[in-house]
Structure 1
Amino acid sequence: MSQEKKVVVVTGCSQGGIGYNLCEQFAAQGCRVFATARRIEAMSGLEAFGCEKVKLDVTDEASIKAAFEEIYAKAGHVDILVNNAGAHAIGALLDTDMKMARRCLDVNIFGTLGVCKEVGRRMAERRSGTIVNIGSVVGYVATPWAGIYCLSKAAIHSMTDALRMELAPFGVHAMVVAPGSIKSNIGDVATASISLPEDSLFTRFRKSIETRATSSQAPGCTPTDVFAKNVVNAVMKPRPRNYFTYGRLSTIFLIFYHLPAWLKDTILSRMLGVSKVKISSKND
């Protein structure tokens, strides 16, 4: 008797992003894959890999409910949920565009929570399932010029830790995947999210802020397909780990996590241009 295909749902599967490649790799492992995004047309090409496309806006509760009603009607259950949908926000915290910040937190934190609520209960009732939440190495260690994004990913890590403990008695596992620098369209998304008003205290740091927006796309970053293949292999194991951290710079950030705060701050400030400009007086 052939083994039943694992049913996988991935959020945030637009072309050029990590979710798109995750769908390809899950399909290559013989899974039945439901790819989701706000716009069906943004996932063009995934049908060639056998993926089924469903419209889903993670910030809209009605959209979440409708999407999973469709998925459960077709597949009956979900074995693996990957919360990958995300938004960015770049700039100094004091320059934060509150609309942009709320959008980032709404997608990254509350969108993930909303989808977990919709699927987690059904997994618990079935006594089986794996929830994969995409965090980040900046969820371990915050950097200058991306405070809102960093706090959103730290929240994802904390959320997943709590979820893992709460769902363990029901046979459901929750894990964090923390990417390092992975080749994707996130650099364009991050650049579009930059907040730097004309009266900013940080105008002289413009170049550093712009560099931070695209830092994850620097030469040598991990190809998306390589990252996705390693993630899928980790998730598909009989006993997936609690945290899977992978990609360029991931080891460095794990080391930063264990450094004294003063040393970590000094290194990151130098790396990201904070210490290159001396603010000597109010009129400088």
Structure 2
Amino acid sequence: MSDKPVVVVTGCSQGGIGFNLCQQFAAKGCRVFATARRVNAMDGLEAFGCEKVSLDVTDEVSIEKAVAEIYEKAGHVDILVNNAGAHAIGAMLDTDMASARHCLEVNVFGTLAMCKAVGRRMAERGSGKIVNIGSVVGYVSTPWAGIYCLSKAAIHSMTDTLRMELKPFGVHVMIVAPGSIKSNFGDAAIATISLPIDSLYKQYKAVINGRANASQGPRATPTEVFAKQVVQTVLKSSPPRYFTFGHLTPLFLIFFYLPRWITDRLLSAIMVKAVKAPESEAGKKNE
């Protein structure tokens, strides 16, 4: 078997962070197993030497089958990157429960299931790294994406516990918290918007719609830049517990350390009041 570090990445569909992470790990000489629900969604990764495996993180049978295949081929896993994710956009009181459950199933329980499937084997081997993709909204929640924010906060909390529990076995567990990163995640988020006709928040429709694509602004960090920084950090002999990178991350870290009442006021101004102005201007023009 090869001496190359064996890396498994979840959620590797084209246009996403996982796809670029696979490319960068492969460029660093790793043996990369790219996974997604549909293998054809990862077309192109074979050109970088990545091996594609079908994996649905919400299906225990799928996880068991995929992990067994990877271990049969590689013998072990050095690095697991839990990147698969789902969004959910809308006010908390408007939450579509099916969408909320799906978001938590993918982001939280999918991550936990993969940690269970691979983490024990790493512990038995006495080495390994688990990288859970969190978010800056895991530090500080924002309006109009509460379910997604709580799922990422849960991942941060889960990671902290796993890090302490797996340290005696030589396994390092860390969080990567992206800021605003250019990817196809905004398009996926738009499809999850929940705004019932009887919503209390109809006046904020434009704001809520905008929140779905908020991370995809013109100054968003290019995915390849983000992926390169993440891979360089993860491959260090002693990687950090938390790695936060990307556009807007300094702002969210400031929010995290500010008194909560100040953060609430600032976020409300940014994500509620500020975006109402264009609507008001449009109304004036139509008068």
TM-score of the alignment, normalized to the shorter chain, above 0.5 = yes
Following TM superposition, by how much is the alpha carbon of 1:274 offset from its aligned partner in structure 2, in angstroms?
A: 5.1
Structure 2: gaps of 5 or more residues:
277-287
Q: Is the 8 A contact 2:207 2:275 kept in 1?
A: no
- Structure 2 partner of 1:77: 76
Partner Cα distance (1:242, 1:6) in 2: 20
1:276 Cα deviation (Å)?
Answer: 7.1
Partner residue, 2:222: 223
Which secondary structure does the structure 2 equivalent of 1:273 belong to? helix
Q: How many residues align?
A: 275
Distance in 2, Cα, partners of 1:32 & 1:80: 10
Amino acid at match of 2:191: A
Q: Counterpart amino acid of 1:31?
A: C
Residue deviations 1:80-131, cap 9 Å, x none? 0000000000000000000000000000000000000000000000000000
Q: 1:210-249 counterparts in 2 under 5 A?
A: 210-249=209-248
Rounded Cα–Cα distance in structure 2 between residues aligned with 1:275 and 1:33: 44
Q: For 1:6-21, what aligned pairs fall within 5 Å after superposition?
A: 6-21=5-20
Contact 2:173 2:241 in 1 (8 A): yes
Per the TM alignment, residue 275 of structure 1 is displaced from its structure 2 partner at its CA by 7.6
Where in structure 2 are the equivalents of 1:191-270 lying within 5 Å? 191-270=190-269
Provide the C-alpha distance between the structure 1 equivalents of 2:49 and 2:273, rounded to a whole number of angstroms: 47
Q: Per-residue displacement from partner, 1:163-188 (whole Å, max 9, x unpaired)?
A: 00000000000000000000000110
Question: In structure 1, the residue corresponding to 2:183 is in which secondary structure?
Answer: coil
Alignment-derived partner of residue 120 in structure 1:
119
Secondary structure of 2:227's partner?
A: helix
Determine the structure 2 residue equivalent to 1:280.
none
Deviation at 1:262, TM superposition (A): 0.9
Alpha-carbon distance, 1:4 to partner:
1.4
Deviation >6 Å, runs of 4+: none
Gaps of 5+ in 1: 278-284
Q: Which amino acid aligns with 1:136?
A: S
**How many Å separate the matches in 2 of 1:175 and 1:275?**
35
The letter for the 1-side match of 2:204 is F
* Aligned counterparts, 1:47-196, within 5 A: 47-196=46-195
CA distance in structure 1 between the partners assigned to 2:7 and 2:147 by the alignment: 29
Partner in structure 1 of residue 27 of structure 2: 28
Distance 1:98 1:87 in 2: 14
Indicate conservation of the 8 Å contact 1:205/1:274, yes or no. Answer: no
Instruction: Find the aligned partners of 2:219 and 2:183 in 1 and give their Cα distance.
Output: 13
- TM-score, normalisation: structure 2: 0.95
Please give the per-residue CA displacement for 1:169-221, whole angstroms capped at 9, x wherever unaligned.
00000000000000000110111110000000000000110111101001110
Cα 1:253–1:196 change in 2 (3 A) is: same
Change in Cα spacing, 1:158 to 1:249, as seen in structure 2 (3 Å) is: same
Letter in 2 for 1:18: I
Q: CA deviation at 1:268?
A: 0.4
- In 1, distance between residues paired with 2:120 and 2:3? 22
Distance of 1:254 and 1:144 partners within structure 2: 17
- Contact 1:176/1:242, CA 8 A, preserved across alignment: yes
The whole-number CA distance in structure 2 between the counterparts of 1:103 and 1:191 is: 15
- Partners of 1:89 and 1:231 in 2: CA distance: 25
SS at match of 2:46: helix
Change (3 A) 1:181 1:276: closer
**Identical amino acids, percent of aligned pairs:** 71
| Separation of aligned partners in 1, 2:170 and 2:142 | 36
Identify the residue that residue 281 of structure 2 maps to in structure 1.
Answer: none
